[in-house]
Structure 1
Amino acid sequence: MTLVRLNPWQEFNAMQRQFNRLFDEAFVPAKEFNRSFIRVPAAELQETSDAIHLKLEIPGIEAKDLDVKVTENAVSVSGDRKSETKTEDKGVTKSEFYYGKFQRVIPLPARIQNTNVTAEYKDGILNLTLPKTEAEKNKVVKVNLDQSAA
């Protein structure tokens, strides 16, 4: 009987090699790679005492191609990035740009007045100011301290 030394990292190394092969451009054509993942705009959310400020990164799209819907509890942004067609006689064109429809729904940490939302779209950045409802602004939560736990 032969003794084999167990290397617990061997499986992790094999998995890492498989992931590297998966993302290797020679293994997966770039065109198919881009279609397999859903692209959503990056978001940044900041909450103040009066409002929620939401910033979305949506480059390469015109304001008329965006659809922004706001409820009291969430913001939905969707759009369609249209493909620019280029024809070349010789050579190969590789593109990492994503074209097509996208949608992102962002739940909000507090209820807002969805009738008073202000928006600004400039240089591919969508800024939304979402004012909180009066009930949320004045919300005070009492924390009970259990004396028996001490």
Structure 2
Amino acid sequence: MALVYWHPRRETEFLQRQITRLFEDALVPRSGQKQEYISTVPLAEMQETPEAIHLKLEIPGMEAKDIDVQVTEDAVSISGERKSAQKSEDKGVTKTEFRYGRFERLIPLPVRIQHTNVKAEYKDGILNLTLPKTEQEKNKVVKVQLEPAA
């Protein structure tokens, strides 16, 4: 029976390299990967005020007509397709880190909204949605019962 030495540091370094490669592949495709299969979802920022929910989405490089926004009482769905401008070049090689393709994102909302009164603005690659809360949600007050300390 042969003795095999275990090197925990070597195994940890191997695991670290694997995790790093996983994140690099997700962020920057390797030269052999096909770009048309890579798509991203827009990053979002949500702020809740007493009157409404303000939702910002980062969707650069698109026109407003190419973005589809659908709103229900409890969720927002954003979809679209970032299309590549096809250029014919006789000489040279073009490499890109831009991502093209279809994207879709469904964002559940923490409260019910008036989905018929949503306001939207798309400027400089940022989609701003103002989602007014329903009257029930605006007036919602919860009484908290306090227990005496023992």
Would you say same fold, with TM above 0.5? yes
Structure 2 partner of 1:118: 119
Provide the aligned length of Structure 1 versus Structure 2: 145
CA contact (8 A) 2:38 2:100 kept: no
State the one-letter code of the partner of 1:113.
Q
CA distance in 1, matches of 2:69, 2:137: 23
Relative to the length of structure 1, the TM-score reads 0.83
Question: CA, structure 1 residues 116+9, in 2 after alignment: closer, same or farther (shift >3 Å)?
Answer: same
Structure 1: which 5+ runs fail to align? Answer: none
Contact kept? 1:30, 1:95, Cα under 8 Å:
no
Alignment check: 8 A CA contact 1:30 1:96 kept: no
The equivalences for 1:61-72 within 5 A come to: 61-72=62-73
Percent of paired sites with the same residue: 64
Deviation of 1:19 after TM superposition, in Å, equals 4.2
Q: CA–CA distance in 2 between the matches of 1:35 and 1:19?
A: 24
Matching residue's letter, 1:15: L
For 1:36 and 1:145, the matched residues in 2 are separated by 55
CA distance in 1, matches of 2:121, 2:42: 16
Whole-angstrom CA distance in 2 between matches of 1:32 and 1:101: 17
The equivalent residue for 1:77 is: 78
Q: Distance in 2 between matches of 1:87 and 1:142?
A: 67
Query: RMSD of the alignment, in Å?
Result: 2.4
Instruction: Report the TM-score, using the length of structure 2 for normalisation.
Output: 0.83
Unmatched 5+ stretches in structure 2: none
1:59-115, CA deviations, whole angstroms, 9 ceiling, x for partnerless residues?
Answer: 111111111000010000000111111122222110111111110111111110001
Return the offset for 1:10: 2.5
Query: 1:8, CA displacement in angstroms?
Result: 3.0
Instruction: Read off the aligned partner of 1:116 and give its amino acid letter.
Output: N
